[in-house]
A = this chain, B = another copy of it.
């Protein structure tokens, strides 16, 4: 965290990402500007372009970071259980927790208007986050298509709860975590073929 020694910064790329995250945390998903981030890093407004093609690219780098962080958190959360259903439930709960505890990362990834299609690595990194669900889903559904659908359904539900919390539709984090986990359990239990009555 040496702000500046001489002419060169030494770790500008990181300092800019850090500053950007803080700006998003302070001012919301739009409140980030390269100029202000540069100011906080103590460099000129042109310096960022040595490290990022443009403003979007910085956001994309943060989104990538976000996906990495998600991957490890969700893997750790799911790893805490042996039962596949419980693994899915813990993923859902952890997903909601991430949106709250890492608001800035979550906002950058989903609320800053980043167009992921234009940043090839991003879409793939996003998909990789869902790999955590692969093993438990395949234990619960023999048919590959059914396993994939379960993955998407659990993830969509978790994402919905997380987004609603960030949007203000929901306000109680703990309740959202519990509901997301409960939904995951219900969805995991119930293969479509065996709908009651």
Contacts and interface: CB of A to CB of B under 8 A. Distances in A.
Contacts of A192: 182, 186
A12 interface: no
Contact of A164 (B159, B164, B180, B183): B159
A70 interface: no
A121 to B, nearest CB: 13
Nearest to A167: B116
A131 B161 CA distance: 17
Number of copies of this kind of chain in the complex:
2
A161 B189 CA distance: 20
Given A187-B183, A190-B189, A28 B163 contact: no
Contacts of A157: 153, 156-157, 160, 183
A58 B112 CA distance: 18
A113 B155 contact: no
Interface residues of A, number: 42
Interface string A142-161: 00000001001101111111
A191 to B, nearest CB: 9
Interface in A20-59: 28-30
Contacts of A82: none
Contacts of A167: 110, 116, 126
Contacts of A113: 28-30, 111-113
Given A112-B113, A179-B153, A127 B186 contact: no
A113 B113 CA distance: 7
A117 B165 CA distance: 12
Given A117-B168, A156-B179, A182-B192, 6 more contacts: A28-B113, A28-B115, A112-B113, A153-B182, A159-B160, A159-B163
